Amino acid sequence: PVRRVLCLAGSLRRDSWNRRLLHAAIDQAPSTLALTVYTDLAAVPLFDEDLEQHDPAGPAGVQALRAALVAADGLVIATPEYNHSLPGVLKNALDWLSRESPLGEVLVDKPVAVLGASAGPWGTRLAQASLRQVLHTCGALVMPTPTLFMANAAAHFDGHGTLIDDAGAQALQRFTRAFEQWIGRMAPATAEASI
């Protein structure tokens, strides 16, 4: 079956390395994975329990993100590293998604894969560790391996944001194939049975 995967970059920056990494992942993914990059993270307001009380479905920007996640079989998050952790804009979105809503707790039992790109030499290691901790707390099923830390991001892309190195392409092929398998392993047993 074709698995639908929502891809979220934890950056609002137009030329984000992390969004470029996601587009490169789409190019390298098996044809049985349908990946789409979420483009409206900026529409998610700052979390506020008063907004939740006003409308349990949350503001429109939150409803759209939740609906996109519910419609997906898995979630891929490319996180930048800010001050050795995940950016507030990403944490804020995850805080919204962690909450009970008319669509349920949408991160619970959701297969999630984490990767990231940084301009510096460490490739978002610490941000990914923080992000994993948050995702575990939210009940997501986080793929343990393979990891993918893209360091020195500027060296991996051309001026148009296209991935230019073979090692990066191969790592993204391994990563997306592994995630497809992870989704399959994590999928609840269906009612179908052959006897």
Q: Three-state DSSP class for 8?
A: strand
> Using CA atoms, how far apart are residues 99 and 181, in angstroms rounded to an integer?
28
Regarding 120 and contact with ligand FNR (CB under 6 A), the answer is: yes
Between 157 and 182, CB nearer to ligand FNR: 157
- The pair of structure tokens assigned to 135 is 């995702």
> Using CA atoms, how far apart are residues 142 and 17, in angstroms rounded to an integer?
22
Radius of gyration for the alpha carbons in the chain, expressed in angstroms and rounded: 17
Q: State the minimum distance, in angstroms, from the CB of residue 35 to ligand FNR.
A: 17
Regarding 157 and contact with ligand FNR (CB under 6 A), the answer is: no
- What secondary structure does DSSP assign to 123-176, as a single string? TTHHHHHHHHHHHHHTT-EE--S---EE-SGGGTB-TTS-B--HHHHHHHHHHH
From the list 95, 122, 184, 187, which residue makes contact with ligand FNR (rule: CB under 6 A)? Answer: 122
Please choose, out of 8-16, 92-100, 161-169, 178-186, the segment that lies near ligand FNR by the rule CB under 6 A.
Answer: 8-16
From the list 31, 83, 145, 190, which residue makes contact with ligand FNR (rule: CB under 6 A)? Answer: 83
Regarding 13 and contact with ligand FNR (CB under 6 A), the answer is: yes
Q: State the minimum distance, in angstroms, from the CB of residue 25 to ligand FNR.
A: 14
Regarding 17 and contact with ligand FNR (CB under 6 A), the answer is: yes
Count CB atoms within 10 A of the CB of residue 109.
12
Site for ligand FNR in 88-117 (CB under 6 A): none
Regarding 80 and contact with ligand FNR (CB under 6 A), the answer is: yes
Q: State the minimum distance, in angstroms, from the CB of residue 46 to ligand FNR.
A: 17
Q: DSSP state, 85? A: B
Regarding 118 and contact with ligand FNR (CB under 6 A), the answer is: yes
> Using CA atoms, how far apart are residues 28 and 49, in angstroms rounded to an integer?
40
Contact footprint for ligand FNR (CB under 6 A): 11, 13, 16-18, 80-84, 118-120, 122
